Amino acid sequence: MPIKKDPDIKPSEITPKEVYCNRRQFMAASVSAAAATAFPTLLDAEQHGGTPLKIEKRTGYAGNEEQTSYKSAAGYNNFYEFSTNKEDVAELSKGFRTRPWTVSIEGLVKKVRVYDIDELIKMFPLEERIYRLRCVEGWSMVIPWVGFPLEGIIRMSEPDAKAKFVEFTTIHDQSQMPGQRREVLQWPYVEGLRLDEAVHPLTILSVGMYGEVLPNQNGAPLRLVVPWKYGFKSIKSIVKIRFTEQMPVSSWMKAGPLEYGFYANVNPEVDHPRWSQATERRIGEFFRRKTLMFNGYSGQVASLYAGMDLRKNF
Ligand code: MTE
């Protein structure tokens, strides 16, 4: 599917690879205070202590909105397998083992296979995508994710004509994930997308953020990022991708069918039964801002839902 131009993206935000590579060389040569002012994001990426990733292309998809600080993105996390307390997840997930790691592709596809994570990552050039992420709870962030379009894995797996949905599953390992010892959700965590949503060019599998390998608390080693849907669709630490004919039932649908729908598209006009979804608080800002339809990505994704009643299909 060809990607529609985001009216928010200024040509200046799309950095050609050569320029980016030269910048990186320059950064390596002279990390100075002057450079810090000139290239704050790049220097920022060098400073988090994680493993840097080789990025082939960088694109902004959040207009000129300011990026959330790394500290907030890596320190305020929803990852119920570790804790329901957002501030505790980073510490509790410190020792989580992300290698060896395999991802199983199964269900209605010709190429059923188990991939080693490093083998899988090497198959696709890495891109940086600066996306808004809005949580159903009413807070949001702007994060430079690093990953590749999910579409690549889907095409390579050759889905059958019958496949209509894709189901994703997180690792189930109580010995490493203390939150799984409590039944706050039905484990393992499951999410799903319709096949056309899954192959949409904005849908990515992320392996990093802020130029570095994904921290455990953000869903290492592989997580989904679907920028026009509430954050809970962006499932973390994926071990299984299954193609199905029937709509998958996600962990959140099981937990509260009247509160969490399959689509979970960001929609300021459809309230959560217990609170309004009209506004959100960007982490790092004081005042609330208006929530945008499809999180600001209407131009690219509204056509996927043409003719659907989004109050019923929430
Ligand atoms: N994936 C798993 N496996 N478990 C979770 O609890 N929480 C979801 C989503 N993915 C969650 C998950 C929710 S509610 C949100 S808002 C985002 O992850 C948060 O992602 P972040 O911590 O990288 O900001």
What is the whole-number distance in angstroms between the Cα of residue 112 and the centre of ligand 1? 27
b/e code 239-272 from CB counts within 10 Å (16+ = b): bbbbbbeeebebbbbeeeeeebbbbbbbbbebeb
CA end-to-end distance (rounded Å), the chain: 24
Rounded distance, CA 283 to CA 132, Å?
Answer: 11
Calculate ∠ Cα 50-70-27, nearest 5°.
60
Rounded distance, CA 191 to CA 248, Å?
Answer: 7
| Average pLDDT score over the chain | 89
User: For ligand 1, is residue 235 a contact (CB within 6 Å)?
Assistant: yes
Rounded distance, CA 176 to CA 14, Å?
Answer: 40
Report which protein residue has its CA nearest ligand 1's atom 9.
Answer: 232
| pLDDT reported for residue 88 | 98
Rounded distance, CA 176 to CA 92, Å?
Answer: 9
What is the whole-number distance in angstroms between the Cα of residue 141 and the centre of ligand 1? 13
* Residue appearing with tokens 């790394």: 70
| pLDDT reported for residue 46 | 53
**pLDDT above 70: residue 43:** no
| 238 φ, ψ (degrees, to nearest 5) | -75, 135
**pLDDT above 90: residue 257:** yes
The CA-atom distances, in angstroms, between 278 and each of 117, 275, 286, 296 are 39, 9, 16, 13
**pLDDT above 70: residue 32:** no
What is the whole-number distance in angstroms between the Cα of residue 23 and the centre of ligand 1? 33
Residues of the chain above pLDDT 70, percent: 85
What is the whole-number distance in angstroms between the Cα of residue 294 and the centre of ligand 1? 18
Tens digits of per-residue pLDDT, 127-144?
999 999 999 999 999 999
| pLDDT reported for residue 126 | 98
Q: Collapsing DSSP states into helix, strand and coil, what is residue 291? A: coil
Atom of ligand 1 nearest to the CA of 185: 6
The pLDDT of 99-113, averaged and rounded, is 98
Report which protein residue has its CA nearest ligand 1's atom 3.
Answer: 236
Tens digits of per-residue pLDDT, 170-182?
999 999 999 999 9
Tens digits of per-residue pLDDT, 208-248?
999 999 999 999 999 999 999 999 999 999 999 999 999 99
| pLDDT reported for residue 2 | 43
Who's near 24: CB < 8 A, 6+ residues apart?
42
> 304 and 312 in contact (C-beta within 8 Å)?
no
User: For ligand 1, is residue 77 a contact (CB within 6 Å)?
Assistant: yes
Who's near 170: CB < 8 A, 6+ residues apart?
81, 188, 189, 190, 235, 236, 237, 238, 239
User: For ligand 1, is residue 135 a contact (CB within 6 Å)?
Assistant: yes
Cis amide leading into 221 (omega within 30)? yes
| pLDDT reported for residue 241 | 99
Which residue ranges form the domains of the chain, and what is each CATH number?
23-305 (3.90.420.10)
User: pLDDT class for 49, splitting at 50, 70, 90?
Assistant: confident
| pLDDT reported for residue 41 | 47
